Structure 1
Amino acid sequence: MHLPLLAVLIALAPLDVQVNFSDQATAPPAGYVRDFGEAYGPRPGGLTYGWVQNGTTTPLSLIGNGRNRGTGTDPRLATLIHMQLPAGSAGIRTPGSWEIAVPSGAYRVTAAVGDPSHTDSTHWLTIEDQNGTAAFVPSAAERHRTVTRTVTVTDGRLTLPAGGVNTKLDYVDITELTTPAPSVRRTVPADRAANVPLTGAVVADLRLIAGGVAVGSLTAGSATIRRVSDGAAVPVNVATSGGGDTISVAPATALQPGTLYRLDITGAVRDTAGNAFHPYSMVFTTGAPPGGEAAFDKVVSGAGGAPYTSVVKGPDGRLYAATLTGQLRRYTIDADGTLADELVIDTVRNAHGGADRTVIGLAFDPASTPAAPILWITDNQAYPGSDVPEWTSRIARLSGQNLGTYTAVVTGLPRSARDHETNSLAFGPDGACYLTQGSMNAMGAPDAAWGNRPERLLSAAVLRLDPARLPATLPLDVRTEAGGGYDPYAAGAPLTLYATGVRNAYDLVWHSNGHLYAPTNGSAAGGNTPATPSPLPASCARRGYTGPQVPAITANPQAETDYVFDVKPGRYYGHPGDRRADRLRPATRPRRGPGHREHLCDGAGRRAHHAAAAPLTGHAAG
């Protein structure tokens, strides 16, 4: 075989390399290559590896830090290298990170730390973006610790940074994984974060390959939080977003302050196609107990158990609650704030043959009286864990005795495959009804996690419904495609676009200051953004948009922030939609008065926000 062909075949084979760390004189065990502290650079066999200064790519020589203790039955554990030396020790005391050049991809990495002769260390080892060993203090009973992590390399170098005190690295085994699998992209908080709230969740953004997280695989065993000092498990609640593109692991009770914990997401977590996730591990340290903050007492309200979505106080002084299944529940509010006299109202379910419907929006008509309340609702086909048909969301009106009369007012609203739907509604000071319509996907273009649905003309927006313009015969069908031709731009249109690019605002409220506020959920990483359509649709001409052409982005690695928007009419808030030409150049944005700051989405996945938009604390993508 010719040597060039052999080199090509070696290059195409999955990487499988074992590295033993030692002094310069010791030969490596069978099957291993040796590292005795040389600075990062080319090595025999076509490999490139070695040491760099922590947090940089600057080569660093640790020659002289290797040791061979000459004890034990496993030669891999008899040798080691000091990743950093304590003050007063002979050798290189500059902390080093070990790196090896690898193709970008997934790798299973096994690493061992420890010393067969000494216990003078607190070992910390990070493997790429995950924690390997945290605060391991060896003893006579346990002198070494070996861990395996599955990591994803995106920059062409697998990195093991130094940490702790006098950490000693024994050996590393690296195997390239060639079968695609879903994995964790990053977490909030990040690995080794400090001052984490005692009740805060760890939220993982995901790399998906075939649909979102399978909800049934999220259990207290498939994702865990444990105290590092003794391995004690913490009761947790594990959940995902509507798009199945995040994993949220939250302690069921408050964690201990100033304590180190480890989060593990295991291969028992699956996607909807049955693929196992690569395991993931990170650690964090909690902060101090909160002080001087608002506190709440948990009391029994008197309400029956139900999957509640929204509540509103009616003109009759009673509390009305909506649910994921379409039932409404009405309660008398007692003087002490507890609830009594529950009445279950099945009007919505009865109107749909007993099927589950998700009711989110609740708003009483301004013409309501205590004796004759009129309740407007948003009425969505419930999400059962599989794709929901599109164009199935509604606005309805309930009236009559015990709200027993159902009137469909608007039908054919767009509906995502999951839980982005027609959300909340509120009557404005002008008597119109304002509602939030969720997006069809993560970042504006179809993606597998959201059923590959494109944005529609009325999706990802705040809509305005003028009851005075409704036709005499109801319902009003507002499908803009799929056999419908509704035009929200037409003169006299009852349902219009009030503001666009609002990705998924679950709620909205008119403040006494005359402003409309909406909290908006940003996407997890991994979504797609659309290219500018060619030719431009008529909606672009209405907005005065003539270019430039903006390229699409696939699998955007940047997660979006959650915002509270101060919503203004005719404004755009960042979620792209090609049906409306929702992407403007900065040069074309409307100019405002002094001090006004506005950034408009350019179609590259960057999020627009209004001057009054305030980021929410934390991140809960969906």
Structure 2
Amino acid sequence: MTTIRTRRRLRSSTGHRPRLAALSAVLASLAVALGAAPAPARADTAFTARVDFGTAATVPVTGHLLDYGQAYGARTGPHQGTGLTYGWTRTDAATPLDLIGNGRDRGSAEPDRLRATLMHMQLPAGSAGVTTPGRWEIAVPDGTYSVTVTVGDAAHTNSVHALQAEDQNAVDGFVPTTATRYATRTVTPTVTDGRLTVSPVTGTNTKITHLAIVPVADAATRPAVRAVTPANTATGAPPTGSVVADLRLVGGGVDAATLTSSTVTLTEAATGTPVAARVVTSGGGDVVNLSPTAGLKPHTRYRFAVTGGVKDLNGRSFLPWQSVFTTGAETGGGTVAFDKVTGVASGRSFTSVVKGPDGRLYAATLDGYIMRYAIAAGGTLTDGRAITTVRDDAAARGLPGAPARTVIGMAFDPASTASAPVLWISSNTMYPGGTPAEPDWSSAIGRLSGPDLSVYTEVVSRLPRSVKDHETNSLAFGPDGALYVSQGANNAMGAPDPVWANRPERLLSAAILRLDPAKLPAALPLDVRTESPGAYDPYAPGAPLTLYATGVRNAFDLVWHSNGHLYTPTNGSAAGGNTPATPSPLPGSCARRIDAAAHGTYTGPPVPAITSNRAAETDYVFDVERGRYYGHPNPARCEWVLAGGNPTSGTDPFETADYPVGTLPDRNLDLAGMYDAGLHASANGVVEYRGGAFGGALRGSLLVVRYSSGQDIEVFGADAQGRLSAPTRGITGFTGFQQPLDVTEDTATGNLYVTELGASRITLLRPRASMG
């Protein structure tokens, strides 16, 4: 595989067009002055517009403005309104476009005067008028609007009508008949750039007759979809993928109980046939994920919709959303393929899975069980036994939520033997979803030993904890004998935010930690709370638990590769998070900041805060190096810059477009070690594939589980220098999971085991002999 460093440009889907509405300009200036990204909160309730499209001679229906094809600009003529700016631009740019001559009046053929006049948005070649396609725009205050549009023609049915209102689909593929010549649709797009845009993209000879724009007065108090993946009108979407909606929240996250087959839908656009799918949210409640239960059809158009039946945890209804996309070709085939045996174990909320030194398979669960299975011939699992040691300890000590504890990390001690295995685990309060409530400083690292792992020893206590599902995640012993720990972030983008209950980052959060067992005190557990009443100092000489790498937002898993590199798939944030600003003067603690390039006091760059960042982060795979930074700010460590900052006006790697141009990345950012795992992928479990006798072309590759978008396993090639190739997706046997979390390999056979949280099962993947 060719080595590729993926760069991602995170921009608003509506682009960067000039703000010509005076009120919009004032609002934008205020937002910049306050250091905040303009957040679409509310439309001006005084602004409404009704437009009748026709010819220069058309007298518009009472209460309507007239548009007969003038280029975008200030309107001053009869029936044009007062102080309004609207008209036509090219569909591929904001360049004004004169379409005068494209209007039509069908006269008595249509008694409804609003329908009798129309404008060709895509006039066919050879027709009288301007054949350059155009889109219609009007300057409006930023906010959310109800937009009702009508397309059609009393005299002709030679069109495939399509209209996009901002980044939502209003009309898609409407083919009129003599019996049904018109289609009227209503959508609720949000304007963030001062112009409401109605485009005929994806249509053929689209004709618009009239529209109405009315503000949604309560938009500021209602959650909404911010953007979707695949985006509206996208083509080439993978048939094995999911649809993920990024949310704009006004309080708590989405209420998972309201996500049903009637409130979130996917249908074939041409026929309206519903697609069977599972609809879920993330642990943070900040996305909606629709995953088809079977692959989508290739080269087929689909319509995705979220209705007002979806609510947040405070009972507020979402604003409706609708978009369309078209799938590409099927993937898969080739010599790399696996046969899937679904549900070789079931009935538990499995998180992580690992093969033990005794040749048995161990699986952790969300509620604190360790399940142990014998591996039978052919890879199936038998003799399942529930080890309750973690739950028993939680109950005995009266821990919050006991007896339940969430176990994610599992790593067998290098000194373990088949007859005396020792299992290290991470232990967290169990987050059941819903309203945030988990106590901070409540995560731990424990060790199970003795007969049937019946003895629990708490080794490290009082690790930080978010209010939701960011916690102490996976564990991995390194070649140096130390235990490496992935510790989740406490919030979305580094600064407190209401979705994450305004909990700040702690000194040890959003990091890869290193625990040296040889430095542990005789009296356990080691209390690592870093804030009063705790006093743990990870920088102190001889500290057992230290910071290995920082800025790692929420890494589910870790793997030490045979090339000597440490890799960790990491979840980026959904949109809407807050980032911190560099204070002045800098706190004295900055003198202790870890810096691989130049130890000593932090000196910059200065960074402004972002409130409600408009763009979601991608997910990552990091090639982690000691002392480097990976993009999640943490003021407790004097780390301020989100991802790659925004250093230039061009396309910068992993940039954050809401920063002012010129915002430099953190000087310690390891840009060379950052790889793109896919937007909303929820990249989680990872393993280096060894392959037994069947490794073939896959041997040495990283297999990364994508829990959300895709719900599959993607493959990164890894070379001897640690560089990763662009990911390969769609391998036979690696798709069609239900919220997969983790993967491990039986290296003796090359068999893989995948935990599927959405189906409460473990699935076996057997390599085909042709791979060898």
Normalising by structure 2, we get a TM-score of: 0.75
Kindly report structure 1 stretches of 4+ aligned residues shifted beyond 6 Å. Answer: 597-607
Q: Secondary structure at the match of 1:261?
A: strand
Q: How many residues align?
A: 602
1:123 is displaced (CA, Å) by 0.7
Q: Within the alignment, does 1:94 sit opposite 2:136 as a pair?
A: no
Q: Which residue type is aligned with residue 51 of structure 2?
A: V
Q: Sort the Cα spacing of 1:431 and 1:600 in 2 relative to 1 into closer, same or farther, 3 A.
A: farther
CA contact (8 A) 2:61 2:114 kept: yes
Q: Within the alignment, does 1:320 sit opposite 2:362 as a pair?
A: yes
Deviation readout 1:27-60 (Å, 9 max, x if unpaired): 2222222212122222323222111122322222
1:558 is displaced (CA, Å) by 2.3
**More displaced 10-residue stretch of structure 1: 104-113 or 64-73:** 64-73
Q: Secondary structure at the match of 2:271?
A: coil
- Which residue of the other structure, out of 331, 334, 350, is the alignment partner of 1:290? 331
* C-alpha distance in 2 between matches for 1:345 and 1:239: 29
1:585 is displaced (CA, Å) by 12
Q: Secondary structure at the match of 1:468?
A: helix
* C-alpha distance in 2 between matches for 1:484 and 1:470: 17
Partner of 1:384: 432
* C-alpha distance in 1 between matches for 2:93 and 2:477: 56
Deviation readout 1:70-94 (Å, 9 max, x if unpaired): 3345322222111121111111111
Q: Secondary structure at the match of 2:589?
A: helix
CA contact (8 A) 2:618 2:678 kept: no
Partner of 2:632: 575
Partner of 1:222: 263
Note the 1:509-520 alignment, pairs <5 A.
509-520=559-570
Deviation readout 1:263-286 (Å, 9 max, x if unpaired): 111111112222211111111111
Partner of 1:309: 351
Partner of 2:495: 445
- Which residue of the other structure, out of 152, 159, 168, is the alignment partner of 1:130? 168
CA contact (8 A) 1:563 1:614 kept: yes
Q: Within the alignment, does 1:160 sit opposite 2:202 as a pair?
A: no
Partner of 2:210: 171
Partner of 1:564: 621
Q: Secondary structure at the match of 1:165?
A: coil
- Which residue of the other structure, out of 34, 42, 47, is the alignment partner of 1:15? 47
* C-alpha distance in 1 between matches for 2:316 and 2:383: 48
- Which residue of the other structure, out of 670, 677, 680, is the alignment partner of 1:619? 680
Q: Secondary structure at the match of 2:147?
A: strand
Q: Which residue type is aligned with residue 566 of structure 1?
A: D
Q: Sort the Cα spacing of 1:215 and 1:12 in 2 relative to 1 into closer, same or farther, 3 A.
A: closer
Q: Which residue type is aligned with residue 276 of structure 1?
A: S
Partner of 2:458: 408
CA contact (8 A) 1:102 1:158 kept: yes
CA contact (8 A) 2:44 2:141 kept: no
Deviation readout 1:583-616 (Å, 9 max, x if unpaired): 4899xxxxxxxxxx99999996969444133211
1:160 is displaced (CA, Å) by 0.7
Q: Within the alignment, does 1:361 sit opposite 2:409 as a pair?
A: yes
Q: Which residue type is aligned with residue 177 of structure 1?
A: V
CA contact (8 A) 2:590 2:602 kept: yes
1:242 is displaced (CA, Å) by 2.3
Q: Secondary structure at the match of 2:345?
A: coil
CA contact (8 A) 2:630 2:674 kept: no
Q: Which residue type is aligned with residue 27 of structure 1?
A: V
**More displaced 10-residue stretch of structure 1: 136-145 or 544-553:** 544-553
Bigger relative contact order (CA 8 A; separation at least 6): 2
* C-alpha distance in 2 between matches for 1:502 and 1:600: 16
Q: Within the alignment, does 1:465 sit opposite 2:515 as a pair?
A: yes
CA contact (8 A) 1:125 1:162 kept: yes
Q: Within the alignment, does 1:212 sit opposite 2:253 as a pair?
A: yes
Partner of 1:110: 148
Q: Secondary structure at the match of 1:270?
A: coil
1:151 is displaced (CA, Å) by 0.6
Partner of 2:283: 242
1:228 is displaced (CA, Å) by 0.8
* C-alpha distance in 2 between matches for 1:452 and 1:138: 52
CA contact (8 A) 1:378 1:422 kept: yes
1:482 is displaced (CA, Å) by 4.2
Q: Which residue type is aligned with residue 99 of structure 1?
A: E
**More displaced 10-residue stretch of structure 1: 548-557 or 378-387:** 548-557
Q: Secondary structure at the match of 1:234?
A: coil
- Which residue of the other structure, out of 61, 67, 78, is the alignment partner of 1:29? 61
Note the 1:500-539 alignment, pairs <5 A.
500-539=550-589
Partner of 1:352: 394
Partner of 2:310: 269
1:26 is displaced (CA, Å) by 2.5
Q: Which residue type is aligned with residue 37 of structure 1?
A: G
CA contact (8 A) 1:308 1:321 kept: yes
Q: Sort the Cα spacing of 1:352 and 1:528 in 2 relative to 1 into closer, same or farther, 3 A.
A: same
Percentage of pairs with the same residue: 59
Partner of 2:748: none
Q: Secondary structure at the match of 1:46?
A: coil
Normalising by structure 1, we get a TM-score of: 0.93
CA contact (8 A) 1:200 1:250 kept: yes
Deviation readout 1:71-118 (Å, 9 max, x if unpaired): 345322222111121111111111111111100111110001011221
Q: Secondary structure at the match of 1:352?
A: helix
1:162 is displaced (CA, Å) by 2.4
* C-alpha distance in 2 between matches for 1:12 and 1:135: 32
* C-alpha distance in 2 between matches for 1:585 and 1:290: 34
Q: Sort the Cα spacing of 1:295 and 1:282 in 2 relative to 1 into closer, same or farther, 3 A.
A: farther
Partner of 2:225: 184
1:241 is displaced (CA, Å) by 2.1
5+ residue gaps, structure 1: 1-10, 587-596
- Which residue of the other structure, out of 39, 42, 52, is the alignment partner of 2:89? 52
Partner of 2:100: 63
Q: Secondary structure at the match of 1:449?
A: helix
Note the 1:594-613 alignment, pairs <5 A.
608-613=669-674
CA contact (8 A) 1:522 1:561 kept: yes
Q: Secondary structure at the match of 1:504?
A: coil
1:150 is displaced (CA, Å) by 0.3
CA contact (8 A) 2:605 2:664 kept: no
Partner of 2:158: 120
**RMSD in angstroms over aligned alpha carbons?**
2.3
1:515 is displaced (CA, Å) by 1.3
Partner of 2:592: 542
Partner of 1:593: none
Q: Secondary structure at the match of 1:351?
A: helix
* C-alpha distance in 1 between matches for 2:316 and 2:44: 25
CA contact (8 A) 1:499 1:569 kept: yes
Q: Sort the Cα spacing of 1:464 and 1:198 in 2 relative to 1 into closer, same or farther, 3 A.
A: same
Partner of 1:594: none
Q: Sort the Cα spacing of 1:99 and 1:584 in 2 relative to 1 into closer, same or farther, 3 A.
A: closer
**More displaced 10-residue stretch of structure 1: 284-293 or 495-504:** 284-293
* C-alpha distance in 1 between matches for 2:654 and 2:151: 49
1:618 is displaced (CA, Å) by 4.4
- Which residue of the other structure, out of 397, 401, 410, is the alignment partner of 2:447? 397
5+ residue gaps, structure 2: 1-42, 76-80, 396-401, 594-600, 644-651, 683-707, 709-772
Q: Which residue type is aligned with residue 315 of structure 1?
A: P
